Amino acid sequence: MKKSLMLSAPAKINIGLWVKHKRQDGYHELASIMQTISLSDTITLKEVSEPGIQIFCNNPDVPLDSTNLVHRAATLFLEKFSIEPYLAINIDKKIPVAAGLAGGSTDAAAVFTGLARMYDKAITVNDLMNMALTHGSDIPFVLHGGLALAEGRGENLKFFEPPRPPLSVVVAVPVGVKVSTRWAYENYVPGNNSAKGEAFAQILEAYRRRDLDNLRRYVFNDLESVTLHRHPEVEKIKQLLDSTGEGVVLMSGSGPSVFGLFVDRKAAMRAVKNLHGQKVDVFIEHIKRKNQ
């Protein structure tokens, strides 16, 4: 009987993103607080009779060839364990593409963990993280999920318990706007890092305490200076979502997604009303603990 497995692949948001400097290896030295949320894709792995790796997806913007992170993750895993590829992977896409929510990375992470389960391979999460790092800086984090302080280029992770009860999250994505992560980092101009370091040190504590007033005071995303300049519609969405004054609103990653953190769903819904009439996809979610 051919094996099959279905997995959830949750999105992430960056609750603060500090781009420190460019490294000699071409990557940027970062500090970011990453949090997985309930918005997720569904990945189905299935053994098939035809040789090779076949990718299927309900979103036409997702490539179905070897450029897809899912394909690359499956290839790496199967080669590592000398497993002949007879595999079909279906991606039921809910996470917007190229939106700063780690949609491609979380799908690849689900493939790594799913194949380990499907083929009953003894491999630790740390081993998976080391394997995954070669395919994307966000993949080690989304393999584990929950809340983490990520440093280096995203591979140095320290995990924490997320705030309880979970905060409500509004994710607003402007329709038709896509941002290349590479473009955003290439166009970023570093600012005053000493002042940012002092502010960044306060973000994690305020977030874990659910202290939205202090979090609003300190939180920042360095890449907003790039993306908001190129895409003023993202700035407008951010202002509208923030206009109730009840939440903490920030761009996630390189954007164009904007998220708002609120103490409960009622406050989130009040903020969403201000987006009426905008060309924007809106998701009302909640923060998640460690992946199950």
Residue found by looking up tokens 């002949």 in the block: 84
* End-to-end CA separation in angstroms for the chain: 26
The DSSP H or E segment spanning 62 is none
In the chain, count H helices and then E strands.
Answer: 10, 10
Q: Which strand ranges, in their side-by-side order, compose the sheet holding 248-251? A: 248-251, 258-262, 168-174, 280-286
Q: Could you tell me how far CA 112 lies from the centroid of its own chain?
A: 16
Q: Which of 12, 93, 196, 238 is catalytic?
A: 12
Q: Is 12 a catalytic residue?
A: yes
Distance between CA atoms of residues 106 and 247, nearest Å:
26
With CA atoms as reference, report the closest residue to 248 among 276, 287, 194, 278. 287
Q: Is 273 a catalytic residue?
A: no
How far CA 43 is from CA of 17, 46, 108, 170, 247, in Å, comes to 28, 10, 9, 23, 32
Are 103 and 69 spatial neighbours (Cβ–Cβ below 8 Å)?
Answer: no
Q: Which of 41, 107, 138, 242 is catalytic?
A: 138
The DSSP H or E segment spanning 270 is helix 265-273
Amino acid at 152: G
- Burial class of residue 61, CB neighbours in 10 A (0-12, 13-18, 19+): exposed
Catalytically active residues, by annotation: 12, 138
